[in-house]
Structure 1
Amino acid sequence: MGKFVITKRTNGEFQFNLKAGNGQTILASEGYTTKAACENGIESVRKNSQEDARYDRKESSNGKPYFNLKATNGQIIGNSEMYESVAARENGIESVKKNAPDATIDDQSA
Structure 2
Amino acid sequence: MFELKKNEDKYHFVLKASNGQVILSSQMYASKASATNGIESVKKNCADDARFERKTAKNGKFHFNITSTNGQIVGSSQMYASESGMNNGIESVKKNAPGAETKEV
Q: In the alignment, what sits opposite 1:7?
A: 5
CA distance in 1, matches of 2:51, 2:75: 11
Deviation sequence 1:6-31 (CA, Å, 0-9, x none): 11124x21000000011000000000
**Which TM-score applies when normalising by structure 2?**
0.98
**Which TM-score applies when normalising by structure 1?**
0.94
**Alpha-carbon RMSD:** 0.6
Deviation sequence 1:29-59 (CA, Å, 0-9, x none): 0000000000000000000011000000001
What letter matches 1:70 in structure 2?
T
2:100 paired with 1:94: no
Which of 46, 52, 56 is the aligned partner of 1:55? 52
Which of 85, 90, 100 is the aligned partner of 1:103? 100
CA-CA distance at 1:88 after TM superposition: 0.2
Segments of structure 1 that go 5 or more residues without pairing to the other structure are: none
CA-CA distance at 1:61 after TM superposition: 1.4
Q: Percent identity?
A: 52
List 4+ stretches of structure 1 deviating above 2 A: none
Q: In the alignment, what sits opposite 1:19?
A: 16
Segments of structure 2 that go 5 or more residues without pairing to the other structure are: none
